[in-house]
Amino acid sequence: MIVAAQASPATFASDEACVAHALKEFLKATASVRGFEGLSPTERLRLAAQTLSSMETRGRELQHLPGMKVVEYVNARGDRYLKLEELHTDASGNKTWVARELMLDGNTNAFDANSDVGRKLVKSVVERSIGKSSIIFIDVNNLGKVNYFQGGTESGDALLAALGSTIKANLRQNDLFFKTGGDEFVVIAQTTDPAQVKAVEERFVRGIDSNPNARAIFRREVIAKANLYRSIAAARSPGELPAVVRDRLSLDELRLAASDFSALKNELLARQKQSLIDQARYRPSISIGSKVLLPGDTYASAKSIAEQQAAQVKLRYKQEIGLDAAKYGGTGTRVGAPNLKAKPVVLDPVIDPESTHADH
Residue 148 lies in a domain: yes
Is 353 a domain residue? no
48 and 161 inside one domain:
no
Question: What is the rounded distance in angstroms from the CA atom of residue 311 to the CA atom of residue 316?
Answer: 9
In a domain, 338, yes or no: no
72 located within any domain: yes
Structural domains in the chain (count) = 4
Are residues 38 and 147 both part of a single domain?
A: no
Per the prediction, the chain carries an average pLDDT of: 87
The answer to whether residue 200 is domain-embedded is yes
Q: Is residue 120 part of a domain?
A: yes
What is the span of the domain harbouring residue 233? 217-279
Beta-bridge mates of residue 82: 72, 102
The span from the CA of 139 to the CA of 288, in Å, is: 6
As a whole number of angstroms, the distance between CA 4 and CA 148 comes to 55
In tens, the pLDDT along 229-254 reads: 999 999 999 999 999 999 999 999 99
**For 127-157, what is each residue's pLDDT tens digit?**
988 999 999 999 999 999 999 998 899 999 9
The answer to whether residues 249 and 140 belong to one domain is no
202 and 119 co-located in one domain: yes
Q: Look up the pTM and report it.
A: 0.79
CA distance 292 to 205: 19
163 shares its domain with 248: no
Tell me: do 129 and 160 sit in the same domain. yes
Same domain, 45 and 159: no
Examine the domain organization and report whether 163 and 226 are in the same domain: no
Secondary structure class of 292 (helix, strand, coil): strand
133 inside domain: yes
